Chains A and B, each alone.
Chain A
Amino acid sequence: MRHLAALAIALVVASPLLAKPGVDLGTPHDCCKDGVPCAWPGYQKGVQWEDSLDAAFARARELHRPLLFHVLVGDMDREGT
């Protein structure tokens, strides 16, 4: 029994992680083009982003919908709990 358990663990550890659908992980992408960062392939497959917060507000008023506003801060020194 212990041998079977050890074998199962070994198989799990050795197997590659299953890729989630929607992204071809086997094809590295260009990270930059002409000095401008490119989006990671998975980024643009989900939530649709307006060009700016102004545009989002205008569209939200037009559609009578709430907004989702996501903010990313790259400075990890300001990270907290």
Chain B
Amino acid sequence: MRTVTFSDKKVADLVNKSFVSAWKNREPGFHNCEYATEASIYQSSRVWFPTKNICTFFLAPDGTVLHYITGYYDPSLFAIEVKKALKVWQACYNADGDAKPGAGKAFLALHKDWARRHAYNVRRVAQEGTGWSASLGSASEYHEYLARVHADLAKGMRTLETMESQHEIGNPFEETLETEKRIEEARSRSGGATSPAEDPPTESEASR
């Protein structure tokens, strides 16, 4: 991701303009010393592949997970996910970074819609035989994975720790506990603002 996607100018401009970014290596010092390998990765044309050892979370300043993806995304696909996260952010938070009234409902509506769209695309790609196909990940698998991610997010707004304690789709690693601790600290420093995660969906929204 860092070699290709995060080095892409369009992605960088989009991210730098709208987000504050942090990077964490679970194992400090991990890197690939082989220049040729990295250059090869940089020049490869892979589109997407799933792997849990690369996780990107989009978070609100109060620690709420707006969106998350695991695996490798090429710049064009990654930009789509960045824009989704921005859409959730703008729908759920105001210009001061506070949760809007009804943020929970807006959050669910967006993720349910994306889950539906990706599920539709799984069938469409299969029927039409379109999209890319590669040993590490096909278009159909990409849509299937994202349909699962959005369906999971559509369960409600959650913090990183809460989400991970419930399933294994998100980052399953220990450093997220540390993240949650920092998030709690951030919340306490900001005066314990109410998380929009506590804004429950209506009955009709939950059963849709």
- Cβ of A40: which chain B residues have Cβ within 8 Å of it? 2-3, 31, 35, 38
**Chain B, range 4-58, C-beta contacts under 8 Å to A:** 6-9, 11-12, 15-16, 18-27, 29-31, 33-35, 38-39, 42-43, 50-58
- Residues A64 and B42 in contact, CB atoms below 8 Å apart: no
Instruction: Give the Cβ gap from B120 to chain A, nearest Cβ, in Å.
Output: 22
Q: Within the assembled complex, what's the spacing in Å between the Cα atoms of A65 and B17?
A: 9
Question: Known interface pairs A69-B57, A71-B57. Does A45 touch B35 (Cβ–Cβ under 8 Å)?
Answer: no
Q: Within the assembled complex, what's the spacing in Å between the Cα atoms of A80 and B58?
A: 21
Residues 29-68 of chain A: 1 if any B CB is under 8 Å from the residue's CB, otherwise 0? 1011000110010110111111011111111110111111
- Residues A66 and B22 in contact, CB atoms below 8 Å apart: no
- Cβ of B31: which chain A residues have Cβ within 8 Å of it? 31, 37, 40
- Residues B16 and A78 in contact, CB atoms below 8 Å apart: no
Instruction: Indicate if A2 sits at the interface (CB-CB under 8 A).
Output: no
- Residues A68 and B15 in contact, CB atoms below 8 Å apart: yes
- Residues A76 and B53 in contact, CB atoms below 8 Å apart: yes
Q: Size band of the A side of the interface?
A: 35 or more
Instruction: Indicate if B177 sits at the interface (CB-CB under 8 A).
Output: no
- Residues B173 and A71 in contact, CB atoms below 8 Å apart: yes
**Chain B, range 110-165, C-beta contacts under 8 Å to A:** none
- Cβ of A57: which chain B residues have Cβ within 8 Å of it? 61, 182-183, 186
Q: Within the assembled complex, what's the spacing in Å between the Cα atoms of A31 and B7?
A: 18
- Residues B20 and A68 in contact, CB atoms below 8 Å apart: yes
Find A46's partner among B12, B38, B61, B190 (CB 8 Å cutoff): B12
Question: Known interface pairs A50-B21, A71-B175. Does A29 touch B61 (Cβ–Cβ under 8 Å)?
Answer: no
Q: Within the assembled complex, what's the spacing in Å between the Cα atoms of A8 and B201?
A: 58
Q: Give the 6 A-B CB pairs with smallest separation, nearest first.
A: A74-B30, A46-B12, A64-B97, A56-B22, A31-B33, A73-B53
A interface residues (Cβ-Cβ under 8 A, vs B): 17-23, 25, 28-29, 31-32, 36-37, 40, 42-43, 45-50, 52-61, 63-76, 78-81
